[in-house]
Every structure is written in structure tokens, then in C-alpha cells.
A and B are shown apart, each in its own frame.
Chain A
Amino acid sequence: MAIKNNRLPAGQYEENFSDIHPPFTEKEAALVEANRCLFCYDAPCTKSCPTSIDVPKFIKQITTDNIRGSAYTIFDANIFGGGCSRVCPVEKLCEGSCVYNLMHEAPIPIAKLQRYATEKAIAEKWPLFKRKELKNKKVAVVGAGPAGLSCAHVLSREGIDVAVFEKEEKGGGLMTYGIAAYKVTPDFCRQEVEFITSVGGIRIEYNRELGKDLFLNDLKNNFDAVFLGIGVGLARQLDIPGEKLNGVVNAIEFIYKLRSESFHLLPVGDKVAVIGMGMTAIDAATQAKRLGAKEVTIVYRRTQDEMPCTQKELDLARLDGCKVIWLAAPKEVIGKDGNVTGLLCSEMELGVADHTGRKSPVDTGRTFMLDVDMVIKAAGQMPYTELVHQNDLQNSNGKIIIQNNTTNINGVFAGGDCVNGGKEVVDGVQAGKDAAASILEFLTGDAGSKEESAFNSIDMPLPKI
């Protein structure tokens, strides 16, 4: 057993990482599905979309050959509408609430139609948006992820100049660095960022990291307002013995490498354990398998009823041949000569429900050993707690606290994963839009006095770490 790269013949990588949801290749195929749409009023799909895309409208526009209008309808509500059409867990959002489900018929393939309507706009860089008259204001956005760029796009359209500071060398945030490669390609992510910034008025400075070469006080002084969309990034630690052994990696890092390097260079074990059952866990497990791992086992401490990923995602992992062990929690990573050789797991059982109604797992005292040479940790991500504290931002366990999208610091706004602890891309996009609306109100002064009092009410001393 060993962790190594180049496990597969060259052509196999391409096949394994090709698009998992292929787009419509023919207009006619898109029209068959688009014409099935009932054009619901106050549509459940729209209400189930965090960005409230007018789904019936954009689908109707596909049927009338108004693709430009369709793309506008989508991007107007969600500037990441292209990426979201590939990564959204639509089975629990728009498609999950499609009224066809109530007729026990297949729902409208909304994501696929959305991809159809947006793909050309992005590839051909359609100038769908015009900036309003310049307002002679400038805003700093920290983080070029879904929240940051969505906020920047809204502000730019409103005539405000935006400088975006991004610690990585590419934009897109987790869209670019944290999602399985068969959902979005690096090339698409690059195009999407270019499309978003093509409206003008948005300047992105890459390799600028808050707390290292970029400081909140400077931003506050040099800009009229600041938006923090810094996301989450640190993998939750297991706090068990053996966590430092060679072969223990965290899922975000693993996917990050997969997305930033050639597939064949990325090492993967013979037998891999993935810890966790969220979307990232599924992404890590399937990608490990597709890199050539012989066995991938997902270990989850609760049961299928409590899993955070959707059934569709679980099916994906199972179809890739990943095994799942329910009610198992990692107890110790076993190693030899500094390398992982096994994962000792505790057998769990479900105890009483917590305040959210989810049953907590309880250790039975029994254990079993998994014979593995690699352990991928996907037990959730942690906020940038230290950074948040350093900047005196009011927070809850590192998650920035906001009220009306504003932090406790006057003129500093926040949204997305750094506030909610880590949700879907589409939630980040909406948070960026909401913050942009608040920033606009703050800058244009219409509701200035009201805004001031809102700040004051939450301007309280910060707890020390």
C-alpha cells in the first residue's frame, strides 16, 4: 500500500473527470424540457432558490428563442447563475420543489436549462449589464468568492467602483477551489470570473491576504465601505491521536490541489477513508476513487437519516464504488514509520435528539479497524476565528455577527460563509447581494441616520479570546 500519483493511464483521467451533468447538446432537447414547464405563478422553484431566480420566466424565454433575455433573467438574480447551474444541490432547492414532483413526474431539469441559457452568455461574454452613472464612491471587497463577487457586481452596476482583494491567485473562491472537478472545470471558473468582471468597475488584486499584506484599518481609511466575504477555510480537526501522520489530509486541501494541479500529479492512497458525510466528503470520496484509489470508505458517525448530503450525492458516491460505514467515528489514526496504516473507529449508536431534533451519536465502546493508507478529513470547515478576532469583529465562535448585513464596525459589511459558517454557493451569492443593498443605502445616505442607529445598537465591547 502506498500513496502515489499517476495511477491511471492518461486518457482515463479525462474520462473520470469529465462533466458529471452534461449539458443539452441540441436546442431541440432543451425545448422539449422547457416546453414541459407549466409556468407556475408565484412558483415554488423560485421561492426555493436562495437568489430567487425567476425560473418560469427564464424557461419561457428559452421557448421563445430569447436566450439573451433568459440569460439576463438568471444573471440579474444570480451572477453566478452559470456556476450554480452546475454545483447547486437542486434536488433540495428548485428542482426539489417543482410541482411535477407532486404529480410523481420527473421535475423540470431546471439546472440543465439554466446551464443552457447561461453557457453561451459566458463563453461569448455577452455584455448583458450596463453600469449606472458613476457615484464617485469606492468599495473594498475582501474575498473573490461567490459572496464577494456577487456584492461587487451589484455595486458596480449601481455605479460604484470596487476593488476586490483575493488571497489566492484565481477568483471564484470555493467554486474554483473547493468543488469536485467533474462539477465545474477550472477553465469554466476562470471564464465565470471574467464574465462577472466584464461589467467594468471591478478590479481584482490577487495574492492579497487579509492580516498579512492587507489590513482592515487601511481599507476602512481608503474606501467608502468594506465588504468581508472571506469565507471559511480551515478544516475541522478530529483531535484524535495520529492526526499528524503522513497520509492524513483535509478534504478542502485535497480538492484544492485537484483543482489547481494536473490530475495525474495528485497522489492518492490505495485504500482511503473519508470522514464526514457532507457535500465536501462526497466530493473528496468520489474524486479519490476517480484518481485511482482501489477502495474508498466513507465513515459517518450518524445514520443515513441525519446525513447532510443529499440522496443524489450519496448515490453518486455509491455508483463510484465508494463504501459507506454508518455509525462509526474515528478514534485513532494508526501509523507505522510515520505513515498511515489504519483507522481505528468507534462503533456509535444514536442517542437522544439535540435542540435541532438531530439525534446525537453515542460511543458504544466497541471498536473496529479499517485498513487504510490515507485518511481524508471532511468533518466540516472552521471559520477564520483568529483573523476575525484580530480585527475586532463581533463574532460567534469565529462566525462574524451581522445585523442588516453590517458588522459591529461602522462601514464594514460581511456575508457568506464567514457569517453563516458554510452553506451553498447560491447562499453566498444572495448574501453578497443583500450586503450590496445595505452598502448602497449606507453610501447614498438616503437612510443614513437610520443606518447609524443600527450600528450603534450592536457596537458593544468584544469578548477577548
Chain B
Amino acid sequence: MANISSDFLGIKSPNPYWLASAPPTDKKINVLRAFEAGWGGVVWKTLGSQVKNVSSRYSAVNYNGTRVMGFNNIELISDRPLDINLKEIAECIKLFPDRAMVVSLMADNTKEKWHELISQVEDTGAHGLELNFGCPHGMTERGMGASVGQDPEIARMVVEWVMEKANIPVITKLTPNVHSVVPAGKAVVEAGTNGLSLINTIQSVTGIDLDTLVPNPYVAGKSVFGGYCGPAVKPIALKFLTTISQDPITSRVPVSGIGGISTWKDAVEFMLLGASNVQVCTAAMKHGFRIIEDLCDGLNNWMDEKGFASLEDFIGKSVPAITHWEDLDINYHHIARINQEKCIHCGLCFIACEDTSHQSISLTYGNPYNTYAIKEEECVGCNLCELICPVENCITMVESRKGDEYINWKEFQRRGIPLNDH
């Protein structure tokens, strides 16, 4: 059995799965249930100044019958009294000393307020702090949350205040509501943050009720932009994570990966792109804490199969595989192949290619089943047919290089090779 225990800035947990700062981690009863279920740690829902929540709070995007492909919330930071939160945090640490307890913070914008909050939290015995520079709604209007994370200089200043006081590891959570997370990431690393986490939620409008014409979530005839998360945001999170992993400054600190992680496969992908551990929220909100069982089990089996003894063996392994476009090998070519024995004649490959790609699939009429075949000389190897085909391994992409030599775009131009090769 592989060792899936995790050490993030000295914060130990039996597995790399923490529950992200969110409703599942806002009180003792939930957190104890999560620990009993087997979660490696929690980031306690953000503590800060007094807030008041509204009703309703969530909305979702469903797709082709799958519910909550994307999830959206307009909740604020914890609306429970600070002293109760602090007392419960301490109790949870006592009951489950082997689990990670990180507390998310968002103090009012003064050094004193931050210092006061940090000192109160450290008294609970918490193992780390996560600075919420990402909340995209409600707190931003008060100059907190994402409005800190969106301005690298403000973020740098706040992290400097925090680092003056903090005795336990500090993780800064970045907002994705920027064109790049690197400037803010660099600023907070330079200011001394011990680690980073990303992404927070993405501002969104999930939909509109076509009867009332009011967008959701509905609050007395109005709505606001909310924070979007869940499986839909995973590819965006992976992109942001990669830019942090590839930057020489931000890559100095460990990253806790967040954004639509629902399965062990998602978690492995985050870790392959440089996350040292991962945080989960939406998947747990959809299915409950019991999903931790397969998150651990699947990871363990995959590691055994691949021969990875510990998480460190594969963290960051895929980072070098993401390169710049101009470095891609232009001589690489592959073409689609349809396995006629597996083909169910649905015609989806044909119509996609014919209408929207390269007219590289031929159709021979039959009743009721047509036959489809690849026109190999026309196929550009775009993958569209393979992506659309509903049968596993019916369409495969077969390598068929244009030349033996690696040639990238820069070299291609330098040599003046003609463009119209197909």
C-alpha cells in the first residue's frame, strides 16, 4: 500500500484531502463528522468581522441531466460569533489531534485587527492560517476578500502584517477573478507567505428563471454575482495552478490545490500540476463526507499501480509537459482511425467533422445503419471525432509523423518551410 499521508508546511494529515473553507467546515458538528468519515483536515470557514447572510444562498448549473455541474454561492464569511468558533476549533483539535486544522481569516483592513485575530486563533492550537483574499462577493464591497487579492500591492501589505505576527504556517488563498494569478502570487510570496492555495470561486451568474426573469439565486426579486465552483471550474483552476507552478518565484512555496475536485483522479491531476495537497468542497456538499472513502482508496490503488510510494513521488510531475505553443513539434501528426467492429453507426463523428471541422469522414448510406470511415489524407488529427464518439476506444488517434525531426514553429519559420502542407 502506498503512503498517502501528507505534510504541508509541517501540517500533517493522514491523507492529502482537506475540506475547503466553506459551509461544511463552519462548526464543530460538521467538522467532527468529517473527521469521523476520514477527511485529512479542514480549513475552518473564514473568521472575521460580524456579517449577516441572506436567503437564498446557492444556485447551480445542470447539464444534460447531471445536477450541479457548476455550483454558485452568495454566502459570506462565518456568521457565527467568533468566540463560539474559537471554542469549537479547540475542541475539534483535541478530539482529532492527527488531523489538520487550518483556520481561514479575513480581518478588517488594519494591521491591528489582523494581529488581534491571528493571536486569538493561535490560542486554539490551530496548525495553520489561510488568508482569504478571494471571496468574490459581499466582502469585496468592504475592501476585503477578492479586492485584496486582485491588487498585488494591497495583498503584499496585508501578508506583511500577518507575517509580523503569525507563529504558525500561513497560506494565502488567491482569487481567480484576475487575468493572471501570478502577480498577486509573487507579491505575497515576496511578502513571506509560507504557502499558497487556489483557486477561490469565480464570479458568475448561473442562470435566469425564465418565468420570473429573475437570475438565481433569488433574493426577494433580485440576485447578485456569486462565486462559481464545482466540476465546471476544474480546467480553469488547473490552468491557474500551472502558472503558479511554473513561475520561479511562486513555485518556491507549496500550493494547496482547489477547484472542482470531485474524484481521486481530479486530485491526482492537481498534484501532477504541482499541488502538494488538495481541498474539496462542492463534491462534499453534493454527496456528503462519505466521498472521502473513494478519494483515498482510488488514489492509493493508482499509486500502487504506477509504483509511487508517496505523494512526493508524483507531485509536479506533469508541470514540465505544459510548454509554450511555439515549442510544440510541428512534425508530430496523428490521424483518426475508426474501429468498424466497435462502431455503432450513430454518425456523431461524421456530422461533427462534416459541419464543423475538416470534412475528413466519409459516409456510405445504409438502411438503417450507415458506414463511416476516415479520409486519412484529409484528417488533421484534431481529436474532435474521438472526443465525441460514445464508444470507448472505437475511434483512436494513430501517430503518423510528417517527419522524423522535431521542428517547432520558430525553426519552421527560420527555414521558410511552406505552410500549406495539408
Query: Does chain A have a CB within 8 A of B350?
Result: yes
Binds B, one of A31-39, A309-317, A405-413, A430-438: A31-39
B341-375 vs A, CB cutoff 8 Å, 1 = contact: the mask equals 00011111011000000000001010111100000
Q: Which residues of A contact B367 (CB under 8 A)?
A: 47
Check B368 against A103 for contact (C-beta < 8 Å). no
Residue in chain B with minimal CB distance to A46: B368
Are A99 and B344 interface neighbours, CB within 8 A? yes
Contacts of A41 in B (CB 8 A): 346-348, 350-351
Closest-by-CB residue of B relative to A101 is: B344
- Report how far A47 CA is from B346 CA in the complex, Å: 12
Whether B348 pairs with A63 at a CB distance below 8 angstroms is no
A63 to B65, CA, bound (A): 8
Q: B391 an interface residue at 8 Å Cβ cutoff?
A: yes
Q: Which of B363, B368, B390, B391 contacts A97 (CB 8 A)?
A: B368
Given contacts A43-B347, A44-B345, A97-B368, contact A38 B390 (CB under 8 A): yes
- Is residue B64 contacting chain A, with contact meaning CB distance below 8 A? yes
A102 touches B348 (CB 8 A): no
Chain B nearest CB, measured from A101 CB (Å): 9
Whether the pair B347, A102 counts as a contact (CB closer than 8 A) is no
How many inter-chain contacts with C-beta < 8 Å in the A-B complex?
43
State whether A40 touches B348 (Cβ < 8 A). Answer: yes
Q: Give 1 or 0 for each of A30-68: 1 = CB within 8 Å of chain B CB.
A: 011011001111111101100000000000000100000
- Chain A min CB distance to B348 (Å): 6
Contact indicator A40/B346 (Cβ below 8 Å) = yes
A35 touches B65 (CB 8 A): yes
* Mask: chain A, 72-116; 1 = CB below 8 Å from B; 0 = not: 000000000000000000000000010110110000000000000
Q: Give the nearest-CB partner of A100 in chain B.
A: B344
Which residues in A have their C-beta under 8 angstroms from that of B390? 38
Q: Are A38 and B368 in contact (CB under 8 A)?
A: no
Point out the residues of chain B lying under 8 angstroms from A35, CB to CB. 64-65
- Tell me which residues from 364 to 392 in chain B have a Cβ below 8 Å from any Cβ of chain A: 365, 367-370, 390-391
Residue of chain A at shortest CB distance from B66:
A35
Chain A residues lying within 8 Å of B391, measured Cβ to Cβ, are 103
Residue of A32, A39, A102 near B344 (CB, 8 A) is A102
Within 8 A of B (CB), among A281-331: none
Assess the A48–B368 pair: CB atoms within 8 A. Answer: yes
Once the chains are docked, how many angstroms separate the CA of A42 from the CA of B364?
11
Q: Which of B64, B65, B344, B347 contacts A42 (CB 8 A)?
A: B347
CA distance A238 to B116 in the complex (A): 102
Please, which residues of chain A bring their CB within 8 A of the CB of B369?
44, 97
The contact size tier of chain A is 20 to 34
In contact, B348 and A39 (Cβ under 8 angstroms)? yes
Q: Are the CB atoms of B348 and A38 closer together than 8 Å?
A: yes
Residues of B within 8 A of A44 (CB): 345, 368-369
Task: Write the B313-353 contact mask toward A (1 if CB under 8 angstroms, else 0).
Answer: 00000000000000000000000000000001111101100
Question: Which of B344, B363, B370 is in CB contact (< 8 Å) with A103?
Answer: B344
* Distance from B385 Cβ to chain A, minimum over Cβ atoms (Å): 12
Of the listed residues A34, A35, A40, A100, the one surrounded by the most CB atoms of chain B closer than 10 A to its CB is A40
Q: How far is the CA of A42 from the CA of B345 in the complex (A)?
A: 9
A47 CB contacts on chain B under 8 angstroms? 367-368
A35 to B344 Cα, complex, angstroms = 18
Chain B nearest CB: distance from A9 CB in Å? Answer: 43
Q: Which residues of A contact B344 (CB under 8 A)?
A: 99-100, 102-103
Provide the residues of chain A in CB contact with B351, threshold 8 Å. 41
Q: How far is the CB of A351 from chain B (nearest CB, A)?
A: 32
Minimal Cβ-Cβ distance residue in A for B370? A42
Q: CA of A63 to CA of B64 in the docked complex: distance in angstroms?
A: 7
Give complex CA distance A40, B352 in Å: 11
| CA distance in complex: A48, B367 (Å) | 8
* Bound-complex Cα distance A440 to B397 (A): 52
Q: How far is the CA of A214 from the CA of B62 in the complex (A)?
A: 60
Give the distance to chain B from A100, nearest Cβ to Cβ, in Å: 8
Distance of A50 from chain B, by nearest CB (Å) = 12
Asked if A102 meets B368 with Cβ closer than 8 Å, knowing A35-B65, A41-B351, A63-B64, the reply is: no
Q: How far is the CA of A35 from the CA of B346 in the complex (A)?
A: 15
Give Cα A362–Cα B366 distance, bound, in whole angstroms.
38
> Could you say which residues of chain B place their CB within 8 Å of the CB of A100?
344
Q: Name the residue of chain B whose CB is nearest to the CB of A65.
A: B210
Q: Does A40 lie within 8 Å of B64, measured CB to CB?
A: no
Taking a contact as CB atoms under 8 Å apart, the answer to whether B347 and A31 are in contact is no
Nearest chain B CB to A329's CB is how many angstroms away? 35
- Sampled A-B contacts (13; CB under 8 Å): A32-B65, A41-B347, A41-B348, A42-B365, A42-B370, A44-B368, A47-B367, A63-B64, A63-B65, A97-B369, A99-B345, A100-B344, A103-B391
When A and B form their complex, which 10 residue pairs have the shortest distance between CB atoms, in order from nearest? A41-B347, A35-B65, A44-B368, A41-B351, A99-B344, A47-B368, A102-B344, A40-B346, A97-B368, A99-B346
